[in-house]
Structures are given as C-alpha cells and as structure tokens.
Amino acid sequence: MKLLRRHFLRLAAATAAFPISSSHLAWATEFPARPVRFVVGFPAGGGNDIIARLIGQWLSERLSQPFVIENRPGAGTNIATEAVVRARPDGYSLLLIGAPNSISATLYKNLSFDFLQDITPVASIAREPYVMVLNPSVKASTVPEFIALAKANPGKLNMASAGIGSGTQVSGELFKIMAGVNLVHVPYRGASPAITDLLGGQVQVFFSTMPACIQHIRAGSLRAVAVTTTHRSDALPDIPTVGEFLTGYEASGWYGIGAPRNTPAEIVEKLNKEVNVGLADPKLIAHLGEQGATAFANSPADFGRFIADETVKWGNVIRAANLHAD
C-alpha cells in the first residue's frame, strides 16, 4: 500500500512538474471545445448526483461548454470508475470520486483497474459528516451512554448501513473497533430503507449521511448523538463529534473530480482553478450547505495526498473488520 501511495502522489505532483510548452498551453486554452462527460457512480437524485450537478453547472457556465452528467451506478462505484479509466485522457471524461472509491480499492479483490494508479486527482469539492443517529427507544442520549449500553448487551444491538462497504458501514466499523463494542451489522440497499427500519426500531443505530437523516432529527423522530467529522457541523451545531469521546475518531464523506491517468497537466490545472473559484462563491457554498456539506478546496497534489491517506485508512479498517464485497 505504501508503494501505491507513493505512486499516486507522484501522479498528483506531476501536474506541478510537467513542462509547459506552447502547444500544451494552446491545448489548455482551447479546452473544452466540446461537451465534457462527467460520470457519476450513483443513481440520479441522490447526494452524489446533486453534488456533481452543482459543480457541473458551475463549470458549464465558467467554461461555456456543457458538463453532461452520466449516471453509471453499481458495484461500489467501480462501473463508473472503469468507464473513465478506459476513456481517452483528454479531459473530456471526468469522474465524480469520493470515499466509496477509497473503500472499494481494498474491499474488491479482482478489479480490472487500480484506483490509485489509474485515476488522476483533479479537484476536491466538498466534505460532509456522517451522523450517528439512534431510534428514540434506545436508552442512550450520548456516545458514552451508548457505548456502555452496547458493552452491557454485546451482539444485541443492530447497526444499519446503506450497504456492504458503504461509508455508512465503515464509519460504524471504525466506531466498533475504537469503542470496543459488538454491534450486529445489518446492510440495506441504500440509506432510505435503512432509515425506514431505524424509525421502525428493527435496527438501533445508523451512521447516516446528513441529507438522509436531518429532517428526522429536526422532527424528533430520530436522536442524533454525534457527528463523525473532527469539527461540529454547522447544520447541527449543538451535536458533539464522536472524537470528543473517542480520541482520534474521524470519518467523513467527501467529493471530488478525477480524470484518466495521463490527462494533460494543463487541463487538470485549468479545471482545478475553476472549481476552486466556485468553492469561494457564496451561492455555491450555500448550495453545498443545503446538502450538509462544506466546501473543500485543494491543489491536485494536496487532493492526491488526501485520497491516498483515505485509501490507506479505510483499507486498514476493512482488513481489521474482515469485510468482503458480495
């Protein structure tokens, strides 16, 4: 994994080290000269799709060419990733990347591509917390109370997830490891059915995405006990972080843009610059906030380091929890 991480960082750093010739500058100046395909590994209408459409619309307006969203859901984003890996590295095929890509790199054993080697980091977009939510019947109102309850009832509390290897599962698995508790994992096909059963009491805890649970929290039908990021969420400012009770705990959903390996550095830099301008725009920041996300701007190299670290982190959790894809 260390060798892969170093290779990925070299790919990211290449955007700064690549020699710039007049022909390359002309290519970057002309880009994009036609519509750009933006592949998303999730169905239309979900959080990932919404984020992609927000940044795609921004880029369309800034660069005067359509950024066309192409939804290719399935296999933990691997179908979408493979489509972009196999595309020409000319900037006209982009991929919405995120935590599922870092997770899938270890979870799936027989992929036809290597995410860290075959996708070039272009620009980060946003980060968002998961929310540790409980059915109100659970006799715990804080993280320490829940840990004490789980330790007193090993294997008797059910933890929902949006699917095997989802961010909602691995954030819960990290919690189980760090808290030393035995929760029974119950996977669902997405956050919506997981929330339905959490509301019904069939499961007791869910490390939910913010959009899936925020209205239920505000209505009082679910109890939020913590968010999973290192800092409290502006959307739930009174809710503590898990890390306030389990030192070092952190988990977050994140979004960014990737491109096929060997995409010209000038095109990568141009896209990165335009995305970062958007992430400083109050209107786009507000739209991200409506999804429970905060702007997350980086250079390609810094984004590459972040992705490599996330891949190592979740790889360690997946191996410790002995997780396997279906």
Kindly provide the b/e burial profile for residues 244-264, where b requires at least 16 CB atoms within 10 angstroms of the residue's own CB. Answer: ebbeebbbbbbbbbbbbeebb
Note whether 42 and 114 are same-domain residues: yes
- CB distance 44 to 72 below 8 Å: no
The domain tally of the chain equals 2
Note whether 157 and 234 are same-domain residues: yes
What mean pLDDT value characterizes the chain? 91
* pLDDT score of 106 more than 50: yes
Report the distance separating Cα 293 and Cα 289, nearest Å.
5
State the alpha helices, DSSP H only, in 108-233: 115-118, 143-152, 167-179, 191-200, 210-219
Q: Which residues contact 20 (CB under 8 A, 6 or more apart)?
A: 265, 266
Note whether 258 and 317 are same-domain residues: yes
Does 285 fall in a domain?
A: yes
Note whether 82 and 136 are same-domain residues: no
188, amino acid identity: Y
Note whether 122 and 135 are same-domain residues: no
Return the number of other C-beta atoms located less than 10 Å from residue 319's C-beta: 11
Does 326 fall in a domain?
A: no
Dihedral pair phi/psi, residue 296, rounded to 5°: -140, 85
96, amino acid identity: L
209, amino acid identity: T
Task: Please state the pTM of the whole predicted model.
Answer: 0.85
Quote the tokens at residue 8: 């990925």
Note whether 197 and 237 are same-domain residues: yes
Q: What is the CATH number of the domain that holds 28?
A: 3.40.190.150
pLDDT tens-digit profile of 248-293?
999 999 999 999 999 999 999 999 999 999 999 999 999 998 888 9
Of the candidates 7, 69, 314, 47, the residue with the CA atom closest to the CA atom of residue 174: 314
* pLDDT score of 235 more than 50: yes
Final residue of a domain: which of 244, 279, 311? 244
Note whether 133 and 174 are same-domain residues: yes
Does 155 fall in a domain?
A: yes
At 100 the pLDDT is 92
Final residue of a domain: which of 213, 244, 275? 244
Note whether 174 and 236 are same-domain residues: yes
Report the distance separating Cα 18 and Cα 206, nearest Å.
45
Does 198 fall in a domain?
A: yes
Structural domain range at position 169: 129-244
Note whether 162 and 237 are same-domain residues: yes
At 20 the pLDDT is 47
Q: Which residues contact 164 (CB under 8 A, 6 or more apart)?
A: 107, 187, 323, 324, 325, 326
Does 74 fall in a domain?
A: yes
Note whether 239 and 304 are same-domain residues: no
* pLDDT score of 114 more than 90: yes
Note whether 138 and 123 are same-domain residues: no
Note whether 135 and 67 are same-domain residues: no
